[in-house]
Amino acid sequence: MAYWLIKLVFFSICIATAFTGIARASDPDILFDYILPENATSVDGNFFTYTNLRELFEEDPKSMAASMAEFPALNGQSVSVSVLRLPPGAVSAPHARPRATGLFFVLEGRVEVGFVDTTNKLYTQSLETGDMFIFPKGLVHYQYNPDSNNPATAVAAFGSASAATVSVPTSLFGTDVDDVVLAKSFKTDVATIRKLKAGLGGKAAGDRKLH
């Protein structure tokens, strides 16, 4: 318990420092102290309190988020947090956060990370417990736990109350993007595309001619 507490305190200091720089550049400023939920005329301290992250102190914490969707008081405040729990050998598939920069802090274990910039250059790093890494806003990135025996836990701070996530595999192969379009884009055949879609639970789109 004490070990986790020390890590969380350190992270709190890091996140406070990060927000002073990145939070101002994303969500638009609001003209009020805070934004009330629809149809609400007043709130108490409970509105500004989020307790779900208590699970971090459990023996086997899980991935979780504290964004505007889970914590409505964040609306207009330009901040949110995500906790990533990677079991041994697990990967957080390539994805992008279109609305916010991400400041990634490893609480436990090892995490290999990488992102691709707009020139298609890949930047990678192997992070240890206590290391931090920045994921620039909107760029495709990933996280991977290379340890086959031990889990890894990290926290990401965002300069947006709703950073959003665009998953590359799901967006391409878990939706109804035409099979022929994908086959031509990846220089493969429709059968391969349909296997990928089936693995993600996507639907095979009909073979249509490209114009």
Point out the annotated binding site for Mn(2+). Answer: 95, 141
Dist. CA 154–CA 61, nearest whole Å: 11
Residues in CB range of 70: below 8 A, 6 or more apart:
50, 52, 64
Q: How far is CA 200 from CA 45, 188, 195, in A?
A: 42, 18, 9
Long-range contacts of 107-110 (CB under 8 A, 24+ apart): 107/4, 107/7, 107/8, 107/11, 107/153, 107/154, 107/155, 108/7, 108/151, 108/152, 108/153, 108/154, 109/145, 109/147, 109/150, 109/151, 109/152, 109/153, 110/145, 110/146, 110/147, 110/152
Annotated binding site: 95, 141
DSSP-assigned letter for residue 100: -
Dist. CA 208–CA 193, nearest whole Å: 14
DSSP-assigned letter for residue 47: G
